[in-house]
Amino acid sequence: MKRLFSMAALAALTLTGAASQAEAATATAAVDINSAYVWRGMTFNDGMVIQPSIDVAAENGFSINVWGNFDVDDYDGAVDDGEFSEIDLTANYAFTLSAVDMNVGVIHYTFPGVDADSTTEIYAGASYGLGYGFTIGGTVYFDVDEANGVYATLDLGYSYDINDKTNLSLGGTISYASEDDAEFFTGDEDADGGFFNYILSASLSYQVTDAVGIGANIAFTESMDDDVLVEDAVDTTFYGGVSLSYTF
């Protein structure tokens, strides 16, 4: 499956590179500074982190993304401060089917400097606009490497343009994890499968220029079942941060 990821990433890179030469691709570099690193309800660092990324998207729907987590704090020795503890590579294809926005892709997770195995997920998602700024959607992820498990989300979002440069977004997510997925990511061999976590979030973005954007976000997350998302994996439930992006 790592070979599958490499082939998908290479295909996306080739297509976006060709599109770029035809001036049909955009690249966005971004950096987020957050009060904690919380992923799927699990706390990976309860202190400050810096999360840079770069995304290259072609008009044909293909995109590639590189994302990293840089730990400013050492999280009680669980990670080293001043180093990257995670770098993820994603290849994605987005398309529209009737009135439904669809996307499929593959994510390869790597954990440099951390005692954790790299792994790969494939995913498929869909979203539908309900009108008046509301959107409903969901995504299913299947780990095909280390966990061999499923993680799925159901999302409800609301977006409101305050003016032509400022946008307010609100979101809510509930998730489900299979037993294999819960055991692998929480590190608890006794974890069960079931409803995993929920997230409530709010973000405000401002487009300074056509190329430069800034934003701020806050979120609250909690386990939906302590036998699935076990207590030892949750230290931080409320977190937030600021972001800066540049598109070229």
Q: Which domains does the chain have, with CATH numbers?
A: 2-247 (2.40.160.40)
Residue 211 has pLDDT above 70, yes or no: yes
Look at residue 24 in the predicted model and tell me its pLDDT.
Answer: 79
Residue 87 has pLDDT above 90, yes or no: yes
Residue 9 has pLDDT above 50, yes or no: no
- DSSP track, 6-59: HHHHHHHHHHHHHHHHTT-EEEEEEEEEES-EEETTEEEESS-EEEEEEEEEET
Closest to 176 (Cα-Cα) out of 200, 204, 198: 198
Which distant-in-sequence residues (6+ apart) come within 8 Å of 241 by Cβ?
A: 32, 33, 34, 35, 216, 217
Average pLDDT for 32-44: 97
pLDDT level of residue 117 (50, 70, 90 thresholds): confident
Show the tokens assigned to 190.
């006794």
Closest to 221 (Cα-Cα) out of 232, 212, 210, 229: 229
Residue 14 has pLDDT above 70, yes or no: no
CA distance 239 to 234: 12
**DSSP 8-state class, residue 231:** G
Average pLDDT for 132-148: 96
pLDDT level of residue 77 (50, 70, 90 thresholds): confident
CA-derived radius of gyration, the chain = 18
Average pLDDT for 60-86: 95
Look at residue 22 in the predicted model and tell me its pLDDT.
Answer: 42
CA distance 176 to 225: 10
pTM of the full structure: 0.89
Look at residue 11 in the predicted model and tell me its pLDDT.
Answer: 44
pLDDT level of residue 131 (50, 70, 90 thresholds): very high
